[in-house]
Amino acid sequence: MDSALGIHKATLENVVLLASRFLLAGLFVHEGVFLALNFDAASATMSKIGVPAPALAATIGLQLVAGMAIAVGWHARLGAATLGFFCLATALLFHTNFANRNELLHFEKDLAIAGGMFILMLHGAGAYSVRGLAGQGEEYESNWRWRFRAF
């Protein structure tokens, strides 16, 4: 028990993981829903920078599926890895005009989100998740650890 907070450390970690998952996932689920509801306008805007409509549809699907996976904690590691690499790609492909302050901020934001996703990928969703509540959390966690021992 952590005497300063008066709660168990494991409980605090799981609450913080849950809140963090919701914050990260909310960004992608919100954007995916917005793009889906405004597909024609988004498609027109994306076509100006060379993104075809099928790629936009795939992006929307990725944001919604991976975002929900992270939010509920079911295959959250896979969702976090996918969205982490998606953020890196977005930063490197679309936000490289560092002379423009707004582009630089978007680049840095995408890198920060990718970092959060990679931490979630390594740490897992925690006990307050679908997988954790189903009793599969411990076995699932140990299966991932060996993949990243070198890091």
Q: Tell me the sheet residues that pair with 7.
A: 2
The answer to whether the CB of 95 falls within 8 A of the CB of 103 is yes
Check residue 101 and give its pLDDT: 97
Check residue 150 and give its pLDDT: 42
What is the tens place of the pLDDT at every residue in 15-73?
Answer: 999 999 999 999 999 999 999 999 999 999 999 989 999 999 999 999 999 999 999 99
Non-local (6+) Cβ contacts of 55 within 8 A are: 46
What is the tens place of the pLDDT at every residue in 67-114?
Answer: 999 999 999 999 999 999 999 999 999 999 999 999 999 999 999 999
10 pLDDT tier (thresholds 50, 70, 90): confident
Sequence spans of domains, the chain: 9-148
Token pair 């450390």 is found at 9
Three-class SS state of 2: strand
Q: Please tell me the pTM assigned to this model.
A: 0.83
Residues 115, 24: Cα–Cα separation, whole Å: 11
The answer to whether the CB of 110 falls within 8 A of the CB of 95 is yes
The answer to whether the CB of 58 falls within 8 A of the CB of 42 is no
Looking at per-residue confidence, does 141 or 8 come out higher? 8
Check residue 4 and give its pLDDT: 58
Element (H, E) at 68: helix 53-72
DSSP label at 7? B
Residues 67, 82: Cα–Cα separation, whole Å: 10
Q: Tell me the sheet residues that pair with 2.
A: 7
Q: Tell me the sheet residues that pair with 47.
A: none
The answer to whether the CB of 56 falls within 8 A of the CB of 42 is yes
